[in-house]
Amino acid sequence: MIPGLATPTGRLFVILFVFLFLAAINIRGVRIGTRAVEAVTLIKLAPLIIFVVAGIFFIRPEALAWPGWPQGGPLGRSVLQLIFAFVGVEVALVPSGEVKHPARTVPRAVFTALGITTLLYIMIQLVALGVLGKQLGASGEAALAEAAARFLGNLGRTLMLAGLAISAFGFATSDILSSPRIIFAFGRDAFIPKWFAHVHPRFHTPDVAIVTYAAIGFALSFSSTFQKLAVLSNMAVLLLYILCCLAALELNRRDIHSDGAPFKFPGATIVPILAIIVIIWILAHATLREIELTGACLIAASLVYLAQTSHYRKAA
C-alpha cells in the first residue's frame, strides 16, 4: 500500500511504531487496551465480510475442480502453519472463574467461536479459489487482495490490503493486552527477578512486563518472518494442547468436576486420544531446526523451574 515502507528502514519504522504505540496505551490502563482490541476486531471483520458477500456471486464453478488429494508431507507442513489461524480460542477459559455457570457457558462459547471462525474461513477460501482458481497459489501473501480486485476493482484490492494490515495490527493489540501478564506472574512468583512484577504507581498496570514483552516482540519481528515465528508459536501451543488432552482424560477418569454437571458431548472420551494422535502427526512435519529451537526453550524453562523449586525447598 505504501511502497516507501517496503525497505529495511521502513519495516523497522513500522514495527517500532506498532510496539511503542501498543505498549504506551496498555501501560495507561487495561480499559484502553480492551477498547482498542474491540475496535480493531470490528474494523478487521468488515473487509472479510464484504469480500465474502460480494465475491460469492463471482465464483466460477470450473475453478473449484478437485485436483486430487495432496501428499502427506506438504499437507502436514501446511497444517503446521495454518493452525495459527485457530489457536487462541482457549483464552475464553481465562475469565471462567468470573462467569456464571462456567461448565455450561464456556464450552459452548468455545464451540460457537470455533464454528463461526471455521465457517468464515471456509467461505473466504471458497470465494478466493472460485475467483482465482489455480492462480490463487501464485498470488502470494496478497491473494485475497488480488481476488477482490477481480470483482471490486482497485477499491477492493485496497480494502483487502488495509484489512490485512489492520488484522495483523489487531492480533498484536490483543496479544500485548494479555501476554505480558504472564511475565508479571513469573516475576510475582519469583521465577524471574521480582522487578518484572513492578506495577505503575499511577495506572496500576504491569509496566515493566509490558515494556519487556514489547521489546522481545520487536526484536523477534524485525529479525525473523511471520511464517517462521508462526510455526514456532504453533509448536509451543500444540505441546500445551497435548497436556490439556491428557488432563481431560484424567479428569474424566476421576469424574472430577465443579459448578454442577460437567460439559458432555458424544465421543468425549475418544476425542482427546484422537487429538493427541493428530497433534503428533502435525508436529512430525516440523524441521530439525524448529524442533531444536523448541527443545532449547523447553530445556531452559525446565532448568529455571527446577532451580526455583530447589531454592524453595532449601528455604523451607
159 & 285 share domain: no
**pLDDT tens for the chain, residues 1 to 316:** 788 888 888 889 999 999 999 899 888 877 776 777 778 878 888 899 999 999 999 999 988 888 788 888 888 888 888 888 888 777 767 666 667 777 778 888 888 888 988 999 999 999 999 999 888 887 777 889 999 999 999 999 999 988 888 888 888 887 887 788 888 988 888 888 888 999 888 888 889 999 999 999 999 988 888 888 888 889 999 999 999 999 988 888 887 776 667 777 788 789 999 999 999 999 999 999 999 999 998 998 888 888 877 776 776 6
138 & 53 share domain: yes
146 & 1 share domain: yes
pLDDT at residue number 5 = 84
Last residue of a domain, one of 178, 196, 211: 178
Number of domains in the chain: 2
161 & 25 share domain: yes
Last residue of a domain, one of 111, 145, 178: 178
Domain membership of residue 200 (yes or no) is no
114 & 253 share domain: no
Last residue of a domain, one of 178, 212, 234: 178
113 & 17 share domain: yes
53 & 123 share domain: yes
149 & 245 share domain: no
What separation in angstroms does the CA of 286 have from each of 140, 182, 291? Answer: 22, 26, 7
How far apart, in whole angstroms, are the C-alpha atoms of residue 256 and residue 155? 55
What residues contact 89, with CB distance under 8 A and at least 6 apart?
A: 110, 113, 114, 117
Domain membership of residue 116 (yes or no) is yes
233 & 129 share domain: no
71 & 131 share domain: yes
What residues contact 88, with CB distance under 8 A and at least 6 apart?
A: none
Domain membership of residue 141 (yes or no) is yes
Whichever domain contains 157, its CATH number is: 1.20.1740.10
2 & 110 share domain: yes
Handedness of CA 240, 243, 245, 247 (dihedral sign): negative
Domain membership of residue 204 (yes or no) is no
pTM of the full structure: 0.78
CB 143 within 8 A of CB 30: no
Its domain, for residue 134, covers: 1-82+94-178
296 & 150 share domain: no
Cα 202 to chain center, whole Å?
31
Domain membership of residue 60 (yes or no) is yes
Q: Is 98 helix (H, G, I), strand (E, B) or coil?
A: helix
